[in-house]
Amino acid sequence: MIETLDQLLALLTTMSQTYERAKKEGDFDFFEVVQPFAEKVDQTLDQFKIFNKEVVRLPYMNQTKFDLLIENMKALSVECHFQRTSRKLFTEKLKATHYDLNYIKRNEL
């Protein structure tokens, strides 16, 4: 699970960098960039979903939070590529997702 969490955290870093680039340079091409990246995130999330039962057993974690974490990752993987994405909403979603992934990682060691 740690390897999958590290992959998700690395993808979050990529999303943050991509977002900053999109803000400066404009939207990315959907079919050439956005779709392949979103598919990569989805594949990694599929690996993470295998650990659903272990994750929801952690204190302060439940099925609703787990599902929200998955949905936020999926949304961020697309939103980071577009200039019109709200900075405040993107940043808040990114922070919450980063916090939850790190929380799970800390408690799985």
Q: Domain residues for 13?
A: 2-108
Q: How many helices (H) and strands (E) does the chain have?
A: 5, 0
Model confidence pLDDT, tens digit, residues 1-44: 999 999 999 999 999 999 999 999 999 999 999 999 999 999 99
pTM for the full predicted model: 0.92
Count up the domains in the chain and report the number.
Answer: 1
Domain CATH for 7: 1.20.120.440
pLDDT tier at 108, thresholds 50, 70, 90:
confident
Instruction: Tell me how far apart the alpha carbons of residues 11 and 44 are, in angstroms, rounded to a whole number.
Output: 9
Model confidence pLDDT, tens digit, residues 71-106: 999 999 999 999 999 999 999 999 999 999 999 999
